[in-house]
Amino acid sequence: MNTLDTILTRRSTRNYLPKLVEKDKLDKILLAGQFAPCGSNTQTNHFFVVQKADILQKLISLVESRFATMEVTEGMYSSIKNSIERSKKGGYIFTYNASTLIIVANKKDYGNNMADCATAVENMMITANALDLGSCWINQLRWLNEDPIILDYLHTLGLTDDERVYASLIVGYPATKDGLPIRTMPARKGNEITYLL
Amino acid sequence: MNTLDTILTRRSTRNYLPKLVEKDKLDKILLAGQFAPCGSNTQTNHFFVVQKADILQKLISLVESRFATMEVTEGMYSSIKNSIERSKKGGYIFTYNASTLIIVANKKDYGNNMADCATAVENMMITANALDLGSCWINQLRWLNEDPIILDYLHTLGLTDDERVYASLIVGYPATKDGLPIRTMPARKGNEITYLL
């Protein structure tokens, strides 16, 4: 696939095989993340590549337990509402059982933290597609990025006091019939363009 | 170039020829922007593609005049400080004289506005590199995205009341010896990776 096709056919994959992503593929994905643009070339993104089952499980149960303490409010963003409702029911797995979770943190007092993490995640998702791997943007750890209990646990994994999570993604082998990632290209309904040519 | 190489060799280009980017190339770049991931598939990015010389000139002079009214403060982000200092001197051109500026706006009350605009800009920058065009992330219109005078002008271009600018980029033909974009790949000094495998 050429670059534009790889970009256009990147879709969210939410069903995965338990098979681990190999280290050489992870390295390519992370290299793409590290080479994302960043404000004034600061390079302060901090990547956490999680495949260890006990750490993934701990994150899953922590996220569920924290959302379960929250209440749905009027006008709340639909995905946060879903996370709360499903967590209260129990069995909420924010990683869609993907074998790999890549968390991207950055300095909390840095104005480009969100942008730098987002571009890194996009580079990694495009590269995953190029490698025939599925991926999906994951927002839950960003929504909970000031939660003291989640922060305490992330500190044990190496997050520093001045860092917060702004984006993350799951990567893995897609559980599809042909074993390839979902690559449908539905026409865009929004994303208006105003031409001033 | 394969996709990973296109991603890894994307660098910021800050010197451009006056030559306009052709419509068919712009269309590919914008398509890549429209197919960036977004929260809950909302597709609320709004792209402004500016090539008209009088509009570019108006934006350049507005940005300079607004920064010139601001004061440098202790601990201010270096790039904002530079913008203010250069604007006070006069002759500050935040677009580096590129022939094309693409502004990306989104809903101001939407939690993923910054992330959605950032991923779209990254897709467009990678596509520009694949097309042998240079590009550079531009933050000035985001820093000034609540400035009433800039907002008034953007409204005349089609920005709606509930939208704000979160990211933008310049695109153009690079003024390099070989006519190709800068593609050096200096080793990353930061962007730490913590492996939990």
- Residue A51's DSSP bridge partners are none
Q: Which of A122, A145, A166 to probe the B interface (max B CBs under 10 A)?
A: A122
The residues, ordered by sequence, that sit 6+ positions from B116 with a Cβ below 8 Å of its Cβ are B36, B37, B38, B39, B42, B44, B45, B106, B110, B166
| CB of A106 less than 8 A from some CB of B | no
- Most A CBs within 10 Å, among B126, B133, B143, B163, to test the A interface: B126
Task: Give B146's contacts in chain A (Cβ within 8 Å).
Answer: none
pLDDT at A90 (0 to 100): 97
Question: Cα separation of B38 and A84, whole Å?
Answer: 20
Task: Give the Å distances, CA to CA, from B123 to A147, B2, B24, B31.
Answer: 31, 15, 16, 9
* pLDDT at site A94: 98
The pLDDT tens digits for B90-143 are 999 999 999 999 999 999 999 999 999 999 999 999 999 999 999 999 999 999
* Test mutation, A14, A80, A191, A194, chain B, max B CBs within 10 A: A191
Mean per-residue pLDDT, A54-74: 98
The minimum CA-CA distance between B114 and chain A, rounded to whole Å, is: 6
User: Which of B111, B157, B191 lies nearest to residue A194, judging by beta carbons?
Assistant: B157
Give the per-residue pLDDT at B124. 98
Average pLDDT over residues A137-145: 98
In which band, very low, low, confident or very high, does the pLDDT at A193 lie, cut at 50, 70 and 90?
very high
Q: Do B42 and A190 touch (CB under 8 A)?
A: yes
Secondary element (H or E) of residue A166? strand A163-172
Residue A40's nearest CA partner among A121, A101, A140, A111 is A111
**Chain A closest CA to B48's CA: distance in Å?**
5
pLDDT in the model for residue A20: 97
CA separation for the pair B35, A126 (Å, rounded) = 11
Confidence of residue A105 (pLDDT cuts 50, 70, 90): very high
> Which residues in A56-80 are b (16+ Cβ under 10 Å) and which e?
beebbebbbebbbebeeeeeebeeb
User: Which helix (H) or strand (E) covers residue A61, if one does?
Assistant: helix A53-68
Decide if B177 touches A, using CB distance below 8 A.
no
Cβ of residue A178 closer than 8 Å to a chain B Cβ: no
Decide yes or no: CATH 3.40.109.10 for domain A3-172.
yes
Per run of 10 residues, the mean pLDDT along chain B (length 197 residues) is: 97 97 98 97 97 98 98 95 97 97 98 98 98 98 98 98 98 97 95 98
Burial class (CB in 10 A: 0-12, 13-18, 19+), B184: exposed
Question: Which residues, other chains included, contact B4 with Cβ-Cβ below 8 Å and sequence gap of 6+?
Answer: A28, A31, A32, A127, A130
Distance, in angstroms, between A98 CA and closest chain B CA? 14
Q: Is B180 on the interface with A (CB under 8 A)?
A: no
A122 touches chain B (CB under 8 A): yes
Residues in chain B with CB shorter than 8 Å from the CB of A46 are: 191-192, 194
Least CB–CB distance from A35: residue in B7, B47, B195: B7
Helix H or strand E encompassing B11: none
**pTM of the full predicted structure?**
0.98
Nearest Cβ partner for B28 among A4, A191, A194: A4
Burial (Cβ within 10 Å: 0-12, 13-18, ≥19) of residue A82: middle
pLDDT at position B165? 98
Largest CA-CA distance found in chain B, in angstroms, rounded: 55
Question: Within an 8 Å CB–CB cutoff, is residue B82 touching chain A?
Answer: no
Lookup: tokens for B105: 């706006």
Per-residue tokens: B97: 């004289």
The reported pLDDT for the residue numbered B146 is 98
Contacts of A14 (CB under 8 A, 6+ apart): A96, A136
pLDDT of residue B102: 98
Q: Quick check: B4 and A130 CB within 8 A?
A: yes
Beta carbons of A3 and B8 less than 8 Å apart: no
